[in-house]
Amino acid sequence: MDIKPALEFLQQHIPFIPELAIVLGSGLGSLAQCQEAKSGTEISFQQLRGFPEQSVIGHSGKMFFCEFEKKKVVIQAGRFHYYEGHPMSLVVAPMRLYGRLGVKTVLLTNAAGALSSDKQVGSLMVIRDHINLQGTNPLIGPNVKPGPRFPDMTSLYDRDLRQQLIAAGSKCNLMLGEGVYVGVTGPSFETPAEIKAFRTLGGDVVGMSTVPEAIVAKHEGMLVAGISCVTNMGAGILNKTIDHKDVLDISETISASFERVAREFIREIAY
């Protein structure tokens, strides 16, 4: 996907170059309703050439360029998913835009299912690492320079940022543990056998996003942090079915806690 038209549009219409990008996952879009976002510059995905309309419930498809806790921030409410049939180049297009704009840090968030009863529904987990089971990689194809052809992923989720997120949670009286995020394509939820397999591989939660964005953000030279909102137990752990509406409901119940953590985290970031 050619991001040049979208990049030129943003350069002409945004009030500043943001230092930080926050990508809001399913049900966490309430942060985009804060007063700072409403007072900022709103850009809908449809204003950006090549960006289609959002089709997934819980994703509004808007960017808000605003002053947030005295930092220049872009809050992205919604994302494109591979399971929607979009090419991977579109899924990661916002990350390419942020990298070209000069964004330094990305905070990726998502709704995820727990792979064991060790994780509590309604809790927040800092992503320490991920396992890519999406069957593809967003860097396949000609290398997008100046990123390296073979980028190192050893410290993909920045250690200092992870510690800052945990500290921010502590200040908000929330214990944020760390864990490994397993990225799958969806859109079907996982089978009980898959949940067991992912747990055996070393995963803690599973979801349908984040992994491609994290890889490309790193490729673009940005620091990456991630938070998963645990919205459900994986298939087979409890004797109940999984429904996307329930995922959204749980995300919305914890959105206020997430906003407190995000504010504390951003307040302490030094550039």
Residues catalogued as catalytic: 26, 59, 81, 83-84, 111, 208-209, 232, 244
With the CA atoms of 263, 80, 61 and 155 taken in that order, what torsion angle do they form, in degrees rounded to the nearest 10?
A: 20
96-129 CB burial, b ≥16 within 10 A, e <16: bbbbbbebbbbbbbbbbbbbeeebebebbbbbbb
Strand-pairing partners, residue 105, are 20, 223
The alpha carbon of residue 100 and the mean position of all alpha carbons in its chain are separated, in whole angstroms, by 18
Residue type, 191: T
CA distance 170 to 184: 30
| The dihedral sign for the CA sequence 124, 115, 30, 160 | positive
